[in-house]
Amino acid sequence: MAKESRQAKEIRQVQGHDERNIARLALALAQNRVPDTMQSWEKQLTTDALGAIHVKCVARADAVVPHGLDNDIIVGLVNAFVEQGLPTTGVLQLSAYRLLTLAGLRIGGRQYSELLESLRRLQGSTYAITDSWFDGRQHQWTSEEFSIISSFSRVDATELAEEIGQLRADTMLEIQLARAITRSVRNGHLRPLDLEFYSQLSQPMVRTLYRSLEERRAPAGKLPTNEYTVPTRTWGEHLGMQGWRLDKIRRALEPAHEELLGTKYLLEVIYTGRGETQQLTYRFGKVAAPVDAELLALLTKNGLSAPNAMKIVQEFPEQITATVAAFTKLVAQARTPVKNRQGLLVDMFHNPDKYAEYLESTTSESQQFPKETSSKRPVKAAVKAADAPTEPAAEEWEARQAAEWQGLTPEAREKRMLKLLQMMMPDVLSKEEIGVISTLVGNGTLGGLEISRGLTKAMAEKNQEAYAQELRGYIAL
C-alpha cells in the first residue's frame, strides 16, 4: 500500500500533457482486446469541423495493432519528453516505473509485462496519415508516416536468470520517439492533461474516450463548447469499432459513459434517431472561462507554478489582486523569511479567514485609494469559471477583453504588453525583443489580445520557449 500511495503522490505532482494530433486521431484502438488476426486498420471519416481524418495502421507480421493500454503509454511518452526538457535527439531515458507513472497508470502485478508488449506494438506498427496531421508551426495539415517509437532498448540490472528479459521497476529504458511527434510537441501543439483525474479513470476505453472528447470540447484555437454531436457509427469506427453493429457499439461505450457521467465531466449522453442516421450527443460539465493572462502573470511573479496559477485564476479570479497584495504585505512584515512562499499564497486563497487581518487592511487601503479607471486602463470585469459553463459566456468574456484592448491608447497598450512580457517571458526573450514586441503592439502592428492569449497558453503548457520562437517570427532583430 505504501508503494501505491507513493506513486499516487508522484502522479499528482506531474503536469500532464497530451499531444493534440494523437488525441484527435485516436491512433491506438480504445478497446482492451483485439482479435489475434487484427494486423491493420484504416479509417477515413469526419468527426469535427477541423476536417477529414484519414489514417492507416499496419502492424508487423507477428503482432497486432496498438490498442487499449497503448493509449496510456503514448501519454507517458509525451509527458516524459516534456519532463526531460524536449531533448533534441528525441531519445528518452527513464525507468519502467517512471514511464508507467507518467502514463498515469497505477502499478500492478502485470503492468511491467504489459508495458513491454505495448512498447513492441508501438515500435512495430506503422501509421500513414494523409492530410490529417496538424503542423502547429506552419499552421497547415500535413501527411506523415511513422512508428510512434522508432526504436527502444532496455538495461536490466538483475543477474537472476528468471528475470532477464523482463521489465521491472528499475529497468532502464532508452526510447527513440518519432520525429513527427517530437516536432509537434516542440511547436507547442499540446493540451494540458489533468493526470491525477486521468489516472483515476478505470479502463483504457474510458481514458481514450475522455481524451478524444477533450479534443472536441476544446479544439485548438477555438472556444470551448458545452456540447458535441457525432453520428454513432462514425464515433464507434473512430474509436476502433469498425464493422460493429450499432447496438454493440452502444454497449461497448455504455460503461465509459456511465463513469464519465459519474465524475461530472459529462452531464448527459443522448442518442437521437434510428439506424445508420442515429447520432450521439455529449453535454459537458463545467467549461472553464478563458484565463486572464495578467492575473496569471501576477501569480507566477509571486512564486506560483503555472499549473497552480491556472487553477487559482479559474477558481478565485475576483480575489487575486487583493490576496496577492495581502500576501506581499504579510511576507514583508514576517519576522523570519517565508520558506514556502507558494504554499502560503495558495493557503491564503483556500483559507482566507486565517489571514483576515491582512486581507481586511488591504481591502480598506484599496477603498481609501481607489485605482485609476480612466480610458488609459479600464477596470477588468473578472469572470468566475463557475459562471461560464457555456460557449456564450466565453464569447462574452472574449468580447469584453477585445473591447478593453481596443479602448487603450497606443501608449497604454505598449506599457501593458511590456509588463506582461516582463512578468511572463523574462527568461526566454531578451530585453530588446520584449521592447520591440511591445512597440509593435502599441502601434497596432501586432494584436495585444492575441499575444495575451498566446502567453496564457504558453504558461499553462510550460511551453514559453516555443512561443518565444513564434514571437520572434513577427519581429526583425
CB proximity list for 148: less than 8 A, separation 6 or greater: 27, 66, 74, 77, 122, 123, 125, 127, 177, 178, 181
434-475 pLDDT, tens digit per residue, is 888 888 888 777 888 888 878 877 776 667 888 888 888 777
Which of 229, 227, 236 has the alpha carbon at shortest distance from 267? 227
- Mark whether 463 and 340 lie in a shared domain: no
- Mark whether 254 and 183 lie in a shared domain: yes
Q: Hey, what long-range contacts does 250-254 have (CB within 8 A, 24 or more apart)?
A: 252/31, 252/205, 253/205, 253/209
Range of the domain at 355: 291-384
pLDDT at 468: 84
- Mark whether 368 and 435 lie in a shared domain: no
- Mark whether 111 and 47 lie in a shared domain: yes
CB proximity list for 226: less than 8 A, separation 6 or greater: 283, 284, 287, 389, 390, 391
Domain presence at residue 280: yes
Q: Cα(19)–Cα(30) distance, rounded to whole angstroms?
A: 17
Residue 451 · residue 441 · CB < 8 Å: yes
In this predicted structure, the answer to whether residue 383 has a pLDDT above a threshold of 50 is: no
Q: Find the distance separating the first CA and the last CA of the chain, reported in whole Å.
A: 57
Q: Cα(141)–Cα(376) distance, rounded to whole angstroms?
A: 41
pLDDT at 380: 31
- Mark whether 96 and 66 lie in a shared domain: yes
pLDDT at 160: 46
pLDDT at 125: 97
Domain presence at residue 30: yes
Count of domains forming the chain: 3
Residue 53 · residue 141 · CB < 8 Å: no
Q: How confident is the model at residue 282 (pLDDT cuts 50, 70, 90)?
A: very high
- Mark whether 353 and 425 lie in a shared domain: no
- Mark whether 302 and 366 lie in a shared domain: yes
124-160: b (≥16 Cβ within 10 Å) or e: bbebebbebbbbbeeeeeeebebbbbbebebeeeeee
Distance of CA 115 to the CA centre of its chain: 23
386-437 pLDDT, tens digit per residue, is 333 344 444 555 566 677 777 788 888 888 888 888 878 888 888 878 888 8
Of 265, 284, 303, which closes a domain? 284
Which of 235, 315, 243 has the alpha carbon at shortest distance from 270? 235
- Mark whether 153 and 273 lie in a shared domain: yes
CB proximity list for 156: less than 8 A, separation 6 or greater: 163, 164, 165, 166, 168, 171
> Identity (one letter) of the amino acid at 332?
A
Of 337, 369, 384, which closes a domain? 384
| Neighbour count for residue 340 (Cβ, 10 Å) | 10
Residue reference for cell 530585453: 431
Q: How confident is the model at residue 2 (pLDDT cuts 50, 70, 90)?
A: very low
pLDDT at 384: 32
Lowest mean pLDDT segment, chosen from 138-142, 245-249, 255-259, 276-280: 138-142
- Mark whether 220 and 344 lie in a shared domain: no
Domain presence at residue 139: yes
- Mark whether 242 and 332 lie in a shared domain: no
Q: Cα(198)–Cα(69) distance, rounded to whole angstroms?
A: 13
Q: Cα(419)–Cα(320) distance, rounded to whole angstroms?
A: 17
In this predicted structure, the answer to whether residue 290 has a pLDDT above a threshold of 60 is: no
**Mean pLDDT (the chain, rounded):** 82
Of 284, 317, 339, which closes a domain? 284
Domain presence at residue 222: yes
- Mark whether 276 and 312 lie in a shared domain: no
Q: Quick one: average pLDDT of 294-301?
A: 80
DSSP string of 378-409?
Answer: PPP----GGG--SHHHHHHHHHHHHHHHHHS-
- CA-CA distances (angstroms) from residue 342 to 327, 385, 400? 10, 22, 31
Which of 190, 192, 213 has the alpha carbon at shortest distance from 259? 213
- 422 phi/psi in degrees, rounded to 5: -65, -35
- Mark whether 223 and 322 lie in a shared domain: no
Which of 57, 88, 55, 82 has the alpha carbon at shortest distance from 70? 57
Domain presence at residue 361: yes
328-369 pLDDT, tens digit per residue, is 888 888 777 777 888 888 888 888 888 888 787 665 554 443
